Structures are given as C-alpha cells and as structure tokens.
Amino acid sequence: MKIQKKYFYLSIFCFIVLASLELFSLGVIEPFLFGYYYSDYTIFQKGLHSLITSLLWAISIMGIIRYRSKLDSEIRTKENEDVTNLGFFIFICLLFFCKVITYIDWGTLKIIGEIRTKENLYLVITQYIYYIFEVALVSMIIIYAQKSIDSSPNLSCPKLFPFGGLVLSLTWGAFHFISNGIDLWNGISCMLFSLLAGMAYQITKQNEKYLLCFVMIGYLI
C-alpha cells in the first residue's frame, strides 16, 4: 500500500477510534459495570464514564503513535521551519475567530461555561481529562490527513490548502450534527473549528506544537 494511503487511512482510523470507543464504553463496558445506562448515572459514574473513555483513547493513541513512527521512517521528514511574523499574526487571527465561535456556543469562555454547567469540580476535572485525549486525536486527524496529500506525487494542491482540516471537518466536525441529538449549530461550529485548525497548521508550516496549542486553546478554553 502506498505511503499516502497509509497516512490517510490512519487519519480515518483516528476518527473511528474517537467516535466508536466512547459508544463502546457507553453500550458495553459501562452497562456491564453499572447495570444501567447513562441517563440513570450518578455524578460519580458520569465522571467515571469520562475516565473510562479517556483510558480507551489513551491506549489507542499509544498504538497509533507507534505505527506513525514506522510510517515516518519510510519517508524523508522535514524539520520544522521557523514561523514568519506574518504567519504568527494570521495564526493569532485564526485563534481569535475560533474563540468567537466558542463565545457563540457558550456565551462566555468554554472553561467558564463548563464550570457553570457541571454539578461539581469532580465532573469538570474528569471532563477535561476526556477533552485532552480528544484534542490529541483531533490533532492526529489533521496531521495524518495532511501528510497523506503532501506525500503523494500524483496529487497537487495549493501549498497552504488545509486538507487535514477539511478531513477533520467532514469527520469529527460533521459527527457533531448528531453526537448529542440533532444539533445544527454544534455541527456547523465544529466544522468551522476544524477548518480553522487546519489552516493554522498550514500557516505555521505544519508545526505540530503550534497545532496542539491551537486546538487546546481553541477547544478547551
């Protein structure tokens, strides 16, 4: 299998992990442990749900990273280039637009909204542990999808085209239309966030640390 296909399939696999393992936890593991479904959970069990899902994601992420290292060894990887002043300015602007979306969602910063809507600090902490692993998988979808097109000799697209962000938008982003029932704005906002993150990754010359910072600030705060 060609290397670009392997990267693309790895990106899609990251989305499958993201979407399916939580459902597996809700539908199989937790009914076995608790004897009933999420609507009847206690506060402690709701937090435990986040931790169980996080553990499943963490195990998957370790395997994905190990496989990714094998793929990277098959191609010549370039070192991170310095981000220009203009690139950094655009990065900040994209992050600002992202926070505007968050404000529309919550009417405040997301972290403040989470604190206001959760019953206690325990649920906030477990929810943010859950978010950290979600951020990792979201970032991986962008990185591997972008690598798939960049490593293909037969595909040509503009240098700054956010293919990784587009793939994230059509997978994780679109999934939010139905993740909590039918929610039009939730889907639109997550698709927009995905594209902004993909653009940020490209404008910072595919610096993975910048991408991780963007997704963490944009999605968690």
CB of 61 closer than 8 Å to CB of 55 = no
Give the relative orientation of helices 121-150 and 110-117 as an angle to the nearest 10 degrees. Answer: 140
Average pLDDT over residues 139-151: 92
Distance of CA 162 to the CA centre of its chain: 15
Per-residue CA distances from 146 to 132, 141, 165 (Å): 21, 8, 8
Residue 81, SS3 per DSSP: coil
Report the pLDDT value the prediction gives residue 36, as an integer from 0 to 100. 87
Report the pLDDT value the prediction gives residue 71, as an integer from 0 to 100. 82
Question: pLDDT, tens digit, for every residue of 98-119?
Answer: 999 999 989 999 999 999 999 8
Tokens of 198: 């993909």
Tokens of 183: 């929610």
The C-alpha atoms of residue 35 and residue 95 are separated, in whole angstroms, by 43
The C-alpha atoms of residue 195 and residue 174 are separated, in whole angstroms, by 12
Average pLDDT over residues 26-53: 93
Question: pLDDT, tens digit, for every residue of 55-109?
Answer: 999 999 999 999 988 888 777 666 677 889 999 999 999 999 999 999 998 999 9
The C-alpha atoms of residue 29 and residue 212 are separated, in whole angstroms, by 30
Per-residue CA distances from 104 to 71, 100, 161, 197 (Å): 40, 6, 27, 18
Tokens of 98: 């992202």
CB of 101 closer than 8 Å to CB of 192 = yes
Query: Does the predicted TM-score (pTM) go above 0.75?
Result: yes
User: Angle at the Cα of 168 (from 162 to 174), degrees rounded to 5?
Assistant: 130
Mean pLDDT of the chain: 92
